[in-house]
A = this chain, B = another copy of it.
């Protein structure tokens, strides 16, 4: 089976389309690398690129991405609403098919080391690739942003995993690592009472005692006058979609409120939906290799 790893680099450019296009063109030159999606945000002055390929394709592509963006992005003059500390700000590798989390951790270390050596950019490893608990979360590594980075890196706790002990003058530092796919999942309630959505969000999210791999908040959909539980699923294999849906439905019922629908924003791994079908159909002895398209890829 061909190995599929997803990679979602975020670069600190969302206003000059020609710079983003150059970066995408550089990525597309890497043999076997697929560019699945490009989203630029002018307010954030940031672009999110979604890539897929095997290790060799991603290694080549990410090094080319650094080469392209370092020549064009200077954080000393960069302004935007989104926190950032690098020209290539963050590079997560995500196991999808035929590759494991340890494969992605190994790839993150290898690519991080190569970037540090070739471009002199300090690299911090994060999430599953982190080398200490305090360096696991992106928000902790990035706190202080580019402007506070030189000062922050004087603290031995914030020495980089690879590369020089001080920031790159124009490109700052980059965060590279491995994580599970994120699923952005929203559940719409048959009420205009935002407080109900907020209570349900508190019930299901990790930070207030809910499921381990759920982040959630209540928001209003002004156009539809509906309250929504807006959810980030950070590990759908351990906290599955169907369990969160069923829990939200039960919590909503306690307020006499129906679930009117739900939505997946952006991409979702097939397995997250297949295991949902498995659950609701009460399948016995179902094996994902019974999925025709997967069997075809296994035969490749």
Contacts and interface: CB of A to CB of B under 8 A. Distances in A.
B293 A96 contact: yes
Contact of A269 (B96, B97, B264, B293): B293
Interface in A276-300: 276-278, 280-286, 290-296, 299-300
A294 B4 CA distance: 12
A245 interface: yes
A34 B296 contact: yes
A21 interface: no
A292 B264 contact: no
B245 A263 contact: no
26 contacts: A34-B296, A36-B295, A36-B296, A52-B292, A52-B296, A96-B293, A97-B293, A181-B292, A242-B280, A242-B281, A245-B280, A245-B281, A260-B282, A262-B283, A263-B284, A264-B283, A267-B291, A267-B292, A268-B292, A269-B293, A270-B293, A273-B278, A273-B291, A276-B276, A276-B277, A277-B277
A34 to B, nearest CB: 4
Contacts of A37: 295
Q: How large is the interface on A (under 10, 10 to 19, 20 to 34, 35 or more residues)?
A: 35 or more
A40 B284 CA distance: 24
A34 B300 contact: yes
A267 B290 CA distance: 5
A59 B299 CA distance: 19
A285 B263 contact: yes
A268 B242 contact: no
A101 interface: no
Nearest to A299: B34
Given A52-B296, A261-B284, 17 more contacts: A4-B293, A52-B292, A52-B299, A188-B284, A245-B280, A245-B281, A260-B282, A261-B283, A263-B283, A263-B286, A264-B283, A267-B295, A270-B270, A270-B291, A270-B292, A270-B293, A280-B280
Contacts of A274: 270, 273-274, 277
A282 B52 CA distance: 29
A250 interface: no
A273 to B, nearest CB: 4
A259 interface: yes
A284 B221 CA distance: 14
A117 B235 CA distance: 56
A36 B289 CA distance: 11
A159 interface: no
